[in-house]
């Protein structure tokens, strides 16, 4: 059996507040395999975003361990983590977080610049290829404020994939989109999954994750799993894709 991409052992996160300690994650154990598409759902304040922050190293656990591709994210220094994260993790934010003064193409090139991968021309070519892949290449020379929400989020996904990360994570990636745009974005995730990309998203919207192969519920700091039949989910997805194409 192949080694899991992510191993989480007894993950606990507690915040110190004026009202006393607040336990957000109460001891999570799980493994995430390569090529999986997992959606983490749950009520607001349940710990979804905190879990994602532990996974990406943005935040540190109070106790426990998070290992991603053999790297203990919970204890690695910030400096090393920054470099590692640039090459191995792609993050898609709820509010896109594209840099407003750079063009779409430049936004996608930025992670490659920071990670110091490829030559300048290769970066430009690859960025354009990514934009074409997500059907936003025609917006390459525009600044983000001129794009629609759905287009911006697809650019954000392209940016997140710029360095061919092992893991793509999204924190409420469709939270700021209308239903149609949300569907398009999720279709993008499905395509990535089919290509072997490991995707983990968190969302409070159960409706959009109906066809996600693995849906885990996080509540009161613990994870409950509600796996669905993968085949059934795939059929539903194919119907959805066909409906989108007809539009």
Partner 1 sequence: MIGSRLRKIFRDVWARKSRALMASAAIFVGVLGVVTLLSAGDLLTSQLKQDISEEDLAMQAVFVSAPGGAELDNETYLRALEETPGITRVEGRAVQPLAWKLPSEAEFEDGFVLAAWEPFEEIAIQPMRLAGEGRYPSTGQQEIAVEMRMAERYGLSVGDQIVLRSAAGDPEGDAWTITALVFMPYASFGSMGMPVPSDASLFATFEDARTLGGFTGFNTLYARYTDYPTAQAQADALYAAIAQETPYITVFSYTDDPAESFYITQTEEMTSMLSMLGIIAMIVAGLLVLNVINSIVGEDKRQIGVMKSLGATRWDNFVIYAGIAVTFGLLGAIPGVLLGSYLGVLMAQAIDETLLTYIEGFSLSGSAIMVGLVMGLAIPFLAALVPVFLGTRVTILQAMTDVGISADYGKSRWSRVLTAMPLPTNTKQAVTNVLRKKGRLALTWLTLTLAAGAFMGIYGMFVSINDTIGDVFDSFNAQMTVTPNERQDFEHVRALALGGVATIEAVDPSIGLSVELDGYVSPENGTSQLQLTGFDPTTDSMELEIRAGTAWQDDPAREGLVLTQGVANALDKGVGDTATLVAQGQAVDVEIIGIASFIVDQGFMEWQELARLVGSVDAQGEPVPTSMMVRLSDPDPTAVEVDEVIDELDEVLLANGIAATQVNQVKFAEDIAQMITMFGAVFQIAAIVMAIIGAIGLLSTLSMSVFERLREIGIMRSIGAGSVTIASQFLTEGLLVGLSAWLVAIPLAYLIAGGLLESMDVGMEGLGFDSSALWIGLVGMIVITVLASLGPSLSAARKTVSEILRYQ
Positions in the binding site for partner 1 (CB under 8 A) = 53, 56, 58-59, 78-79, 82-83, 85-87, 91, 93, 97, 99-102, 106, 109-111, 113-116, 120, 159, 163
Minimum CB separation of residue 115 from partner 1 in Å reads: 5
Q: How far is the CB of 31 from partner 1 (least distance, A)?
A: 24
Helix (H, G, I), strand (E, B) or coil at 6: strand
Helix (H, G, I), strand (E, B), or coil: what is residue 63? Answer: strand
Say if residue 20 is exposed, middle or buried (CB neighbours under 10 Å; 0-12, 13-18, 19+). Answer: exposed
Between 76 and 210, CB nearer to partner 1: 76
Residue 50 CB partners (closer than 8 Å, separation 6+): 13, 24, 25, 59
Between residues 161 and 215, which has the closer beta carbon with respect to partner 1? Answer: 161
In angstroms, what is the minimal distance from the CB of 215 to partner 1?
Answer: 25
What distance in Å separates the CA atoms of residue 157 and residue 147, rounded to the nearest whole number?
14
Least distance to partner 1 from the beta carbon of 101, Å? Answer: 4
Triad 44, 49, 53: Cα angle to 5°: 165
Residue 82 CB, nearest approach to partner 1 (Å): 5
Q: State the nearest-atom distance from the C-beta of 34 to partner 1, in Å.
A: 22
For residue 107, which phi and psi values (nearest 5 degrees)? -60, -40
Burial of 239 (0-12, 13-18, 19+ CB in 10 A): exposed
Distance CA(113)–CA(53), nearest Å, equals 23
Nearer to partner 1, 79 or 246 (CB): 79
d(CA 245, CA 242): 5
């Amino acid at each position: 059996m192949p080694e899991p991409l992510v191993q989480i052992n007894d993950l606990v996160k507690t915040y110190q507040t004026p009202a006393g300690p607040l336990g957000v994650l109460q001891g999570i154990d799980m493994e995430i395999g390569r090529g999986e598409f997992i959606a983490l759902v749950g009520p607001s304040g349940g710990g979804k975003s905190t879990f994602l922050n532990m996974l990406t190293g943005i935040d540190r656990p109070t106790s426990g361990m998070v290992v991603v591709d053999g790297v203990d994210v919970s204890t690695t220094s910030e400096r090393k983590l920054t470099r590692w994260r640039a090459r191995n993790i792609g993050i898609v934010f709820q509010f896109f977080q594209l840099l407003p003064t750079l063009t779409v193409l430049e936004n996608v090139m930025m992670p490659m610049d920071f990670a110091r991968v490829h030559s300048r021309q290769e970066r430009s070519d690859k960025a354009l290829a990514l934009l074409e892949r997500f059907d936003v290449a025609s917006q390459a020379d525009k600044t983000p404020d001129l794009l629609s929400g759905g287009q911006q989020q697809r650019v954000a996904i392209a940016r997140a994939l710029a360095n061919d990360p092992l893991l793509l994570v999204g924190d409420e990636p469709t939270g700021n989109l209308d239903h149609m745009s949300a569907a398009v974005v999720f279709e993008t995730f499905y395509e990535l999954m089919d290509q072997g990309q490991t995707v983990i998203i968190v969302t409070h919207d159960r409706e959009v994750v109906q066809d996600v192969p693995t849906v885990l519920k996080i509540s009161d700091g613990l994870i409950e799993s509600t796996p669905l039949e993968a085949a059934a989910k795939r059929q539903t997805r194919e119907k959805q894709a066909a409906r989108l194409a007809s539009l």
